[in-house]
Structure 1
Amino acid sequence: MTLLTVRDLRVGFGRPGHETEVVQGVDLDLAAGETLAIVGESGSGKSVTAMSINRLVDYSGGRILGGSILLDGTTDLATASEARMQNLRGGEIGMIFQEPMTSLNPVLKIGTQIGEIFAKRRGLSGRAVRQAAIRALERVRIPDAARRLDQAPHQMSGGMLQRIMIAMAFAGEPRLLIADEPTTALDVTIQAQILALLAEMKRETGMGLIFITHDIGLVAGIADRVVVMQGGRAVESGTADDVFDRPAHDYTRHLLSAVPHFRGGRSARVNAVRSEGAKATLRVENLGVRFSVGGGFLRQAKGYVHAVEGVSFDLVPGETLGIVGESGSGKSTTARAILDLVRPTAGRVEGAEGRAVQMVFQNPNASLNPRMDVRALLSEPVIAAGRRVDTEALDRMRMLLDKVDLPQDALARYPHEFSGGQRQRICIARALMPNPRVLVLDEAVSALDVSVQAKVLDLLIDLQRDFGLAYLFVSHDMAVVERIAHRIAVIYAGRIVEIGAARSVLSDPCHPYTRKLIAAVPSIERRHVDFALDTDEVPSTLRPDGWQAPPQSWRDHGPDHRVAVEPAA
């Protein structure tokens, strides 16, 4: 039975009569109990298409210019009144957005926000609202649901917040659920949990699911049908198997070729630069970072979060060490502590003196001052070093712009005049201005589309070869890490639990946590996967004052592969 039929949908933004069409004649069909994936890069029109189905596009300056959106073949959502749409939203049509923290009210308790849905949609009140909210959280596998109702959003992890958003979407018992990039900001294991949960809820309720994503490889495990969008048009559609195995459009083939395919270590870079006696350019020994909790002015802290505990590794010139782990594991804190952006409380770092280590952050939009042109941006490290921006500095700017494949006239342009990938190239060029030995890349490609991501990874590999750079590459994306890393360190609850050659760690993981990470990696080869719903959380690293970590024991698993030995329970 066809649940949703979209024909010749056209959507524009701008003044009436002068709109710019961003969705141009899109056709979609969705049956009850079916999952339709809409994939495409930023600006392709996929999210605008989704927002048009429930008419949320009306609130963001857009309007439907033509076409029809038929629910059950009768109700045309494109022309329905606002009163009718208010009855449909949250009831017949549910929505899950990308970032739960922007969808939840930060000052209201979780129970209040979920309870509002049951009160308005079901007419419940008093104790019945709370009991319904508890059942909703239990349904999405949130432990200790009654206590969670009394917490605020900031007290929960990203994965738990996204499960709460799913609970709120299902509270209205929708027959159509639209999930707009619901896993983009999540780690690979949490991502697998969300996919598993959506698949389970779909089986239970028989609803239709529209899944919006820029990652064509992500949806292979859950999609029945796929629509590929480019430039506001649907350029290809069909069953998931047909689109993935027999792509007909050049753009679909381009997307599939750009996706970093995880191959279990088979495509990992071989470490030819590390040899017996190679001198380390960066050495980290027993690094620790702790944050006090519950203290204050003239009051002793009640405890400490041991964000990083006893982390040790080294880097040699020309080598990339990938650091992987879930949010809260300590991987980004480790990277920041090396640059003293977070003050270490234990251990030492050798080789980070002066400007020998530079950092490239995740979001280029937040890293670049929009009021400064590229010349001023690249001048910042020079001025910070106490030097003048002279002819030598300008020559280095031009050389680096050429290296990162940007035109020479870029020096006089501003960040908004560049694409996301180009802005990240500017950030890389700025980091290279002081001629560092080590680059720390903290999720430096995770905000980019897959094709742009592939180009930036290739650029980093070329720069490493040209300058002999060492990279510390922090990421939650195992396929990306496999593509760039020579060695991998897996961090869990603030400690390294496995470290060694990338090929060995990825093909023969020994620690249970490493195996869990790898098992959760999505792949185009994994079709119609029944993801296991694992709701285990990373254990708390909050310890009482005076607590000391037990010494860590290791065992060797090959010439360059060590695994932490977990104490007996």
Structure 2
Amino acid sequence: MIPLLSVSGLSVGFGRTPQASEVVRGVSFELADGETLAIVGESGSGKSVTALSINRLVDFGGGRITGGSIKLRRADGSILDLTAASEPQLTKIRGAEIGMIFQEPMTSLNPVLTIGTQIEESFRLHRGLTGRQATAAAKDALDRVRIPDAARRLKYTPNQLSGGMLQRVMIATALACNPRLLIADEPTTALDVTVQAQIMALLAELKRETGMSMIFITHDIGLVAGIADKIMVMQNGQAVEQGELNQILDQPHHPYTRHLLQDVPHFASGRATRPDGRRDRAPDAEPALKVNDLVVRFPVKSGFFGRATGAVHAVDGVDFDLMPGETLAIVGESGSGKSTTARAVLGLVRSTRGSFSASVRKAAAGQSALPIQMVFQNPYASLNPRLAIESILAEPIIATGGRVDAATRAKMATLLKRVGLPENSLERYPHEFSGGQRQRLCIARALMLNPSVVVLDEAVSALDVSVQAKVLELLVDLQREFGLAYLFISHDMAVVERIAHRIAVIHAGQIVEIGDAKSVLSAPKHAYTKKLIAAVPTIDRRREHFELDTRQVPSLVRPLGFEPGPARWEQFGVDHRMRVEA
């Protein structure tokens, strides 16, 4: 049987001399009807360039195919070499026979056009539909991807939909003309774990219904265990290993494949929690951070005079203690209130009521100390590109009234060495460092003021998986060395499992479960915690069928004057309790 897609010796380069700067070299694979190939690798491995080359979208980014062939078996049985196809031929192929879903739906959709208008474009271009016929086809496309109330949502603009809904719109657009091949380029990377599970379930269901073939691009080898038939692992522009799913996962041969499977964080249902375990708390121990009845509300205004008619209960009565040398992970979906909690503790968001206090560490003579510092998600956006690293590290000292003297510069050099960067980094600029190195710089800057608590808000989610593992190791080492307390905000349960001593699960602005990390992950008690953990992809769950859930996230808007009832808790063991619903 002739394969649907046959790629042989594909090489792709960029710039004026693409042959001299190839980022993909000699990649070959075949894809049969109804088959799913997962292409796995880190940033820069060439996996996305390979995908973009199949329908020649790489041409629009300055890339050129410098060698090899890409042959597609068309619906009429004829074979077309896409590397030699003309632009009019490719225009007919794109969308009609090869659909594509990109990583970030917000940058793929026009923000000023309605969802309906953008989906209808595919039907107009490839099927010649107009007017009511195109609108009806667009509604059917949204129904197909299980978007509730599809007719009304056709009139929405992208900013009115959540990330998960937008990705469903992208899938609906890609499948509008029933392509025989779907290319999904990191379609779930920016999504919460529960939304990610829903998108994966949707793709698997649509694949069964339509019989289409799929190429799934990802950096998470555990994610594809539930959907792929074959896996191709890419490193430095080359395919270093490929084969059947079980063969690659159970008997990897290449060192890089083994690295992705063994060294990179994968969720293990509590079996991979930190070996130092739960922190024993002395009765008279002073918390590094104490938060009591924290409430954050944002007014909802309406009418001509903009009067407050309600409030968004972003955080509603959060309590916890964080001890020195301990890591408390706060987990939950987007909009649950975890980042708002962290920002309120730092004073970046004004709290409506509640109290929080942090202990102040002793600093060396002449040096400043500030109890809480923060490391943000995007290291490049956190560093001023116009300042040298010495000036960036000096900013916290100057902001607190200190002087940049010999002792300060010595501390800079010590911290740079401690986070694994050379001393000559002080004269360099942020753009001269990799993503992982930039995050190490952000960590060094946070430690300049001798904090007792460091808040890490999705601090490793923007990093490659192997770089992520190294930064986690660094954080653990620094915690042991300096006795730091970490408030670790994340939606990645595999990362949380590696670094947390305790876990607080936040849902709809309230902590619904809190306790020892191993206990919470291995024996969750609250229904929401169980839902979060059940949605985490692992290499052990193969061909697992997720039930598609089209229910909407509950609104956090409450009428003026509304106050929730007092919290009631059920205790499980020494350090594990669950909020009991009223």
Q: Is the 8 A contact 1:331 1:474 kept in 2?
A: yes
Q: Aligned residue for 2:307?
A: 300
Residues in 1 aligned to 2:496 and 2:422: alpha-carbon distance in whole angstroms: 29
Residues in 2 aligned to 1:17 and 1:401: alpha-carbon distance in whole angstroms: 37
- 1:207 Cα shift? 0.8
Q: Aligned residue for 1:29?
A: 30
Q: Aligned residue for 1:355?
A: 370
Alignment of structure 1 residues 417-496 onto 2, 5 Å = 417-496=432-511
Cα distance change of structure 1 residues 276 and 265 upon mapping to structure 2, 3 Å threshold: farther
Please list every run of 5 or more consecutive structure 2 residues that lacks an aligned counterpart in the other structure: 361-368
Q: Is the 8 A contact 1:367 1:427 kept in 2?
A: yes
Bigger mean CA deviation after superposition, 288-297 or 126-135? 288-297
Cα distance change of structure 1 residues 296 and 464 upon mapping to structure 2, 3 Å threshold: farther
Alignment of structure 1 residues 74-223 onto 2, 5 Å = 74-223=79-228
Q: Aligned residue for 1:225?
A: 230
Q: Aligned residue for 1:282?
A: 289
Residues in 2 aligned to 1:342 and 1:494: alpha-carbon distance in whole angstroms: 14
Q: Aligned residue for 1:512?
A: 527
- 1:315 Cα shift? 0.3
Cα shift readout 1:13-37 (whole Å, capped 9, x = no counterpart):
0104664100001001111111100
- What TM-score does the superposition give when structure 2 sets the normalisation length? 0.95
Residues in 2 aligned to 1:395 and 1:289: alpha-carbon distance in whole angstroms: 41
Q: Is the 8 A contact 2:92 2:126 kept in 1?
A: no
- 1:114 Cα shift? 1.2
Q: Is the 8 A contact 2:18 2:66 kept in 1?
A: no
- 1:106 Cα shift? 0.9
Matched position secondary structure for 2:292: strand
Cα shift readout 1:223-245 (whole Å, capped 9, x = no counterpart):
11000111100010101111111
Whether 2:69 is the aligned partner of 1:68: answer yes
Equivalent residue for 1:552, pick from 546, 549, 567:
567
Q: Aligned residue for 1:503?
A: 518
Residues in 1 aligned to 2:185 and 2:575: alpha-carbon distance in whole angstroms: 42
- 1:150 Cα shift? 1.4
Q: Is the 8 A contact 1:273 1:316 kept in 2?
A: no
- 1:296 Cα shift? 8.5
Q: Aligned residue for 1:54?
A: 55
Q: Is the 8 A contact 2:287 2:359 kept in 1?
A: no
Residues in 2 aligned to 1:328 and 1:62: alpha-carbon distance in whole angstroms: 39
Residues in 2 aligned to 1:346 and 1:318: alpha-carbon distance in whole angstroms: 28
Residues in 1 aligned to 2:285 and 2:186: alpha-carbon distance in whole angstroms: 44
- 1:294 Cα shift? 2.6
- 1:295 Cα shift? 4.8
AA matched with 1:562: R
Cα shift readout 1:487-530 (whole Å, capped 9, x = no counterpart):
00001111111001111111111110000000011111111222
Q: Is the 8 A contact 1:338 1:352 kept in 2?
A: no
- 1:356 Cα shift? 0.8
- Total equivalences in the alignment: 567
Q: Is the 8 A contact 1:273 1:318 kept in 2?
A: no
Cα shift readout 1:211-260 (whole Å, capped 9, x = no counterpart):
00111121111111000111100010101111111111111111112221
Q: Is the 8 A contact 2:338 2:489 kept in 1?
A: yes
Residues in 2 aligned to 1:524 and 1:536: alpha-carbon distance in whole angstroms: 27
Residues in 2 aligned to 1:276 and 1:504: alpha-carbon distance in whole angstroms: 22
Residues in 2 aligned to 1:521 and 1:320: alpha-carbon distance in whole angstroms: 21
Residues in 2 aligned to 1:317 and 1:565: alpha-carbon distance in whole angstroms: 29
Residues in 2 aligned to 1:428 and 1:535: alpha-carbon distance in whole angstroms: 40
Residues in 1 aligned to 2:253 and 2:398: alpha-carbon distance in whole angstroms: 52
- 1:298 Cα shift? 5.3
Whether 2:412 is the aligned partner of 1:407: answer no
Residues in 1 aligned to 2:494 and 2:376: alpha-carbon distance in whole angstroms: 19
Cα shift readout 1:518-562 (whole Å, capped 9, x = no counterpart):
001111111122222123332110112222222222111111111
Q: Aligned residue for 1:315?
A: 322
Cα distance change of structure 1 residues 298 and 17 upon mapping to structure 2, 3 Å threshold: closer
Residues in 1 aligned to 2:149 and 2:332: alpha-carbon distance in whole angstroms: 25
Bigger mean CA deviation after superposition, 350-359 or 550-559? 350-359
Bigger mean CA deviation after superposition, 363-372 or 463-472? 363-372
Q: Is the 8 A contact 2:436 2:463 kept in 1?
A: yes
Residues in 2 aligned to 1:118 and 1:346: alpha-carbon distance in whole angstroms: 53
- 1:304 Cα shift? 1.4
Q: Is the 8 A contact 1:216 1:259 kept in 2?
A: no
Residues in 1 aligned to 2:402 and 2:345: alpha-carbon distance in whole angstroms: 24
Q: Aligned residue for 2:346?
A: 339
Matched position secondary structure for 1:496: strand
AA matched with 1:330: G
Q: Aligned residue for 1:538?
A: 553
Alignment of structure 1 residues 1-16 onto 2, 5 Å = 1=1, 2-16=3-17
Q: Aligned residue for 1:380?
A: 395
AA matched with 1:485: A
Cα shift readout 1:418-471 (whole Å, capped 9, x = no counterpart):
111111100100011111000000001111111111100000000000000000
Please list every run of 5 or more consecutive structure 1 residues that lacks an aligned counterpart in the other structure: none
Whether 2:541 is the aligned partner of 1:526: answer yes
RMSD: 1.5
Matched position secondary structure for 2:334: coil
Residues in 2 aligned to 1:557 and 1:178: alpha-carbon distance in whole angstroms: 46
AA matched with 1:344: S
Cα shift readout 1:332-362 (whole Å, capped 9, x = no counterpart):
1111111011111121111178721111011
Residues in 2 aligned to 1:172 and 1:272: alpha-carbon distance in whole angstroms: 56
- 1:11 Cα shift? 0.4
Matched position secondary structure for 1:422: helix
- What TM-score does the superposition give when structure 1 sets the normalisation length? 0.97
Residues in 1 aligned to 2:411 and 2:303: alpha-carbon distance in whole angstroms: 48
Residues in 2 aligned to 1:187 and 1:462: alpha-carbon distance in whole angstroms: 28
Residues in 2 aligned to 1:350 and 1:336: alpha-carbon distance in whole angstroms: 14
Residues in 2 aligned to 1:192 and 1:388: alpha-carbon distance in whole angstroms: 51
Residues in 2 aligned to 1:246 and 1:533: alpha-carbon distance in whole angstroms: 32
Residues in 1 aligned to 2:284 and 2:549: alpha-carbon distance in whole angstroms: 43
Q: Is the 8 A contact 1:54 1:77 kept in 2?
A: yes
Matched position secondary structure for 1:66: strand
Q: Is the 8 A contact 1:273 1:319 kept in 2?
A: no
Residues in 2 aligned to 1:448 and 1:257: alpha-carbon distance in whole angstroms: 18
